[in-house]
Amino acid sequence: MHRPHQQCDGEFDMTQKFVGTHVVGPREKLPSGKPWINAPLTVKVPFPAAFNAIPIVVASALQDPKHTSTYPDTFAVTVISVTKTDFTVNICRADYVRDNYTTSGWGQNLHLSYIAETPA
């Protein structure tokens, strides 16, 4: 979607902005007896269309909007790269960490919400 911003000299500068969600899904648990380090899940998210310039992206974990009860899960999301066509995030579960920083996955259908916009 294009949105004009009027400059002081009367000319218009066009920016692009996408607001969206992406389904991440559940993260499968490894077999019992094999503790694993809470390594992030890396997810690449495509934009609906290419940007003209590399945008700024803000992303957050989101519980499945179709699920009516709440999950107590807490996630950390870090944007690690952005291009004109997609962005990549690392997602870690932050509420369930045991000794030696081992953890488990999650069963919920996790979503990612994001805002991507080129600077004016």
By residue range, what is the domain housing residue 109? 20-113
**CATH number of residue 65's parent domain:** 2.60.40
The pLDDT mean for the chain works out to 82
The predicted structure's pLDDT at residue 118:
94
- Determine whether 42 is exposed, middle or buried from the number of CB atoms within 10 Å of its CB (0-12, 13-18, 19+): exposed
Determine, yes or no, domain membership for 94.
Answer: yes
Q: Is residue 7 part of a domain?
A: no
Q: Dihedral angle at the C-alpha atoms of 71, 103, 115, 23, nearest 10 degrees?
A: -70
pLDDT of residue 102: 67
Say if 101 falls within a structural domain: yes
Extract the residue ranges of the chain whose pLDDT is less than 70: 1-14, 29-38, 100-104
Count CA atoms closer than 13 A to 33's CA, side-chain side.
Answer: 0
